[in-house]
């Protein structure tokens, strides 16, 4: 019981730390190793995880309706922030 | 369409208030979001989704079932900080799958889905809220989605967190007294990483928890019945009232030197019903000049059956939980697909920036390891294993403005 409470507390602290890190912009001294002017290939629509959201949503629906598994499919979203 | 959007907005506010209040007041998620919103460092802006509209027609043909209909997406920015979107989607279903053919007759029904979403941009943080309603004559589902994503490390990394909650009302045609409910929560965490100037990597985790009536109310289990003409009879399925699943995927997109790209994704899945699944996807995108994009893809999926699944039970009510839904059986499917896009760019100063015409076709082959075709001849429990193929087609027009 005590371990379960400790695990729960730790996971909450980890979650809050992650949120706080994101919120603060995670300021670090890490220099981006791919400069903004080097991201033309990444900004090309053919590199997008879901360049056609309506078609992607439909394809996921077709599989999800006929398979036991669900979730975490279809790319992580986001991108290179350069379009 | 306009009425549908207005109805979706009204429903959104009605449905969202109570769960949203619960989420915002009671969970770590709320504190986390406040921290994100409150502590944001001044930074260069991320980007809102581009303004676009899509009109799509989809068609699925397989296992005696035909499903088709439209899907329409509209997305528009309001100022520099907000983007709104709405999607209207219809499934017109006719025919009967093997499950239905074994126990009932063909049917026809329609499912309508509407969603309304808002994206908010604040510095490098993108937040989105989406309400979705899905409606059938015997099924009503509402869900709310909250997402937040943030770029950091010089915009090389994007982290996205999401939470969604859904509630279903389930009825059964022909049985006025039947009414059941189910609820669902999803928590997702995703990370996208620029690895090199030609490579983007992604990892994605999602947990889904269900509570309530999780059966398909029309599906049945099969059990040995010496008194029946064919030696077996059917009885309603009985599922556990809870289910929790974890899915984890990694993906990669790689840009090739001649304006082409390779993409891949691998996913593993497990849940408390004993289903273990893995799938892998591989695709290649090739361009011809500035106008044509061709994509080839293949996907393989395999799963093990649920603990309480059997094709044939030895007697009625043999166990506490019983299933013969083929989606819970052990099976694999493999698919191959082709997409062709014609793209037309307009002047940067014109109202419309770009338009595409797209055609996509996928062929999927399903092979079941422990689900038998009871419509075929054979001794009880030794009928041929079931398999079928399906063709999935999409035609759509997209325009950016």
- pLDDT at residue B47, as a whole number: 85
Residue of A nearest to B287 (CA): A46
| Chain B residues touching A17 at Cβ < 8 A | none
Report pLDDT for B282.
97
CA distance B264 to B284: 9
Domain extents for chain B? 2-400
Given the candidates 1.10.490, 2.30.30, 3.40.50, 2.40.160, the CATH classification of the domain at B2-400 is 2.40.160
Rounded CA separation B93/B245 (Å): 28
* Chain A hits for B396, Cβ within 8 Å: 52, 54-55
N- to C-terminal Cα separation, chain B: 20
- The sign of the dihedral angle between the CA atoms of B189, B195, B198, B199 is negative
| Closest residue in chain B to residue A59, using alpha carbons only | B392
Distance from CA of A11 to the nearest CA of B (A): 10
Instruction: Establish if A17 touches chain B: CB-CB under 8 angstroms.
Output: no
Residue extents of the structural domains in chain A: 2-66
**Which chain B residues are closer than 8 Å to A46 by Cβ?**
255, 259-261, 285, 287, 293
pLDDT score at B202: 95
Model pLDDT, residue B218: 86
CA atoms of B367 and B377, how far apart (whole Å): 19
Q: Are B193 and B172 in contact (CB under 8 A)?
A: no
**Angstroms from B263 CA to nearest CA on chain A:** 8
Contacts of A81 in chain B (CB under 8 A): 46-47, 124, 151, 155, 158
Establish if B61 touches chain A: CB-CB under 8 angstroms: no
Per-position pLDDT tens, chain B of length 401: 444 444 544 454 444 444 444 444 444 544 444 444 434 333 344 789 999 999 999 999 999 999 999 999 999 999 999 999 999 999 999 988 888 788 766 678 899 999 999 999 998 899 999 999 999 999 999 999 999 999 888 889 999 999 999 999 999 988 899 999 999 999 999 999 999 999 999 999 999 999 999 988 888 999 999 999 999 999 999 999 999 999 999 999 999 999 999 999 999 999 999 999 999 999 999 999 999 999 999 999 999 999 999 999 999 999 999 999 999 999 999 999 999 999 999 998 999 999 999 999 999 999 999 999 999 989 999 999 999 999 999 999 999 99
- ipTM associated with this complex: 0.86
Paired strand residues for B202: B192, B251
* Interchain CB distance below 8 Å, A39 and B197: yes
pLDDT score for A79: 40
Residue ranges of chain A whose pLDDT lies below 70: 1-30, 74-83
State residue A14's pLDDT score.
60
């Amino acid at each position: 019981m005590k371990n379960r409470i400790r695990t729960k507390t730790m996971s909450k602290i980890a979650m809050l730390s992650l949120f706080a890190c994101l919120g603060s912009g995670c300021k670090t001294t890490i220099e981006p190793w791919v400069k903004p002017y080097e991201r033309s290939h990444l900004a090309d629509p053919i590199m997008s995880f879901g360049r056609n959201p309506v078609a992607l949503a439909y394809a996921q629906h077709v599989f999800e309706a006929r398979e036991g598994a669900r979730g975490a499919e279809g790319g992580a979203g986001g991108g290179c922030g350069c379009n | 369409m306009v009425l549908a959007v207005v109805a979706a907005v009204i429903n959104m506010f009605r449905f969202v208030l109570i769960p949203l209040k619960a989420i915002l007041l009671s969970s770590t998620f709320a504190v986390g979001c406040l921290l994100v919103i409150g502590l944001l460092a001044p930074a260069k802006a991320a980007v809102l989704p581009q303004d676009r509209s899509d009109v799509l027609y989809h068609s699925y043909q397989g296992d005696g079932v035909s499903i088709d209909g439209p899907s329409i997406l509209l997305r528009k920015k309001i100022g520099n900080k907000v983007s709104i979107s709405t999607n209207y989607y219809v499934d017109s279903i006719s025919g009967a799958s093997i499950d239905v053919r074994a126990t009932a007759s063909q049917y026809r029904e329609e499912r309508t889905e509407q969603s309304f979403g808002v994206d908010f941009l604040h510095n490098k943080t993108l937040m989105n809220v989406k309400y979705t309603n899905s409606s059938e004559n015997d099924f009503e589902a509402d869900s709310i989605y909250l997402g937040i994503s943030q770029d950091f490390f010089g915009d090389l990394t994007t982290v996205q967190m999401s939470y969604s909650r859904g509630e279903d009302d389930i009825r059964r045609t022909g049985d006025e007294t039947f009414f059941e409910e189910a609820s669902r929560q999803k928590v997702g965490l995703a990370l996208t990483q620029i690895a090199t100037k030609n490579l983007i990597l992604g990892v994605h985790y999602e947990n889904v928890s269900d509570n309530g009536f999780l059966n398909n109310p029309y599906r049945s289990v099969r059990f040995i019945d010496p008194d029946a003409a064919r030696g077996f009879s059917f009885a309603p399925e009985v599922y556990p009232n809870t289910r929790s699943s974890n899915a984890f995927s990694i993906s990669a997109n790689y840009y090739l030197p001649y304006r082409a790209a390779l993409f891949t994704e691998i996913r593993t899945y497990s849940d408390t019903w004993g289903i273990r699944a893995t799938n892998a996807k591989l695709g290649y995108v090739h361009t011809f000049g500035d106008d044509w994009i061709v994509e080839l893809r293949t996907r393989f999926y395999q799963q093990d059956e649920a603990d309480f699944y059997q094709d044939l039970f030895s007697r009625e009510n043999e166990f506490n939980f019983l299933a013969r839904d083929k989606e819970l059986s052990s099976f694999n499917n493999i698919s191959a697909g082709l997409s062709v896009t014609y793209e037309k760019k307009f002047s940067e100063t014109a109202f419309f920036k770009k338009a595409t015409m797209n055609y996509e076709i996928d062929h999927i082959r399903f092979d079941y390891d422990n689900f038998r075709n009871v419509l075929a001849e054979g001794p009880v429990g030794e009928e041929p294993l079931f398999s079928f193929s399906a063709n999935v087609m999409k035609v759509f027009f997209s325009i950016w403005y």
